[in-house]
Amino acid sequence: MNDATVDDSEKDRTQQLRVGRLTKAHGLKGAIKLELFTDDPGRRFVPGAVFTLQVPTGSAWHGKTIELVELRWYNQHAVGFFKDVPDRSTAETLAKAILWIDADVAEQSDEEDAWYDHQLVGLAVMRDGVRIGTIGRLEHMPAQDLLIVKTPTGDVMIPFVKAIVPSVDVKNGLVTITPPPGLLEELPEDPADAESADSHAAEADADADAEADAVTDSETDAAASAPTAS
């Protein structure tokens, strides 16, 4: 079968969308547990759906796609069966792989807290009502996504989780963050630690003074006991 030709305009209209992550093998027949990043698995995960795999470069699956045969639910957990994954040992080689699909950039997601990368890049990042920078890119890691925020002092990685990024307003071009202390700047020295350091320094100075006094007293005694010329 000849490969279909895709012109540049067609490429420009598509964007990769992350929809799931394979977590671990399930059973002996090649099934794999899934963490879903979509509120509409019935539309994204249908038999025949093809996903691009994000895996380490050393993986045998690097650069490949995978086709879904069936999605089942066990104890409210999604489990997928995929083509060319016949057994548990093969399924284990796919653990932590991230699943991507091609989506039309003009498509508006109706899923809560779901955005395409291109919708977020360039948005202003606000903290306590003050703009600290803009989103430069996203890093999609196996555990979580990271917002790479460009600030005047350099790039900062912000975990893209609700507790730290409570609001994304694409329409107005704003992202609000509430980072924990130390994420964006170095924490001030703890007063107790500073007091302890001062105490240790004072003790060291006292010991040094005592040692110097002892040396002076010894030299004085030595001078007093030395014979004098007649």
What tens digit of pLDDT does each residue of 154-168 get? 899 998 888 899 999
Q: What's the mean pLDDT when you consider all of the chain?
A: 77
Residues of the chain with CATH 2.30.30.240: 117-176
Residues of the chain with CATH 2.40.30.60: 8-104
Residue 7 pLDDT greater than 60, yes or no: no
Cβ–Cβ < 8 Å for 113, 162: yes
Residue 51 pLDDT greater than 50, yes or no: yes
CATH node for 8-104 = 2.40.30.60
DSSP H stretches of helix in 47-190: 88-92, 117-120
**Which pLDDT does position 25 carry in this prediction?**
95
- Cβ count near 81 (within 10 Å): 19
Residue recorded with tokens 């040692």: 211
Q: Which CATH class is domain 117-176?
A: mainly beta
Cβ–Cβ < 8 Å for 82, 66: yes
pTM: 0.51
Residue range 181-191: mean pLDDT, rounded: 63
In tens, the pLDDT along 110-152 reads 555 567 777 888 999 999 999 999 999 888 776 678 899 999 9
DSSP H stretches of helix in 78-230: 88-92, 117-120, 191-225
pLDDT band at 14; cut points 50, 70, 90: low
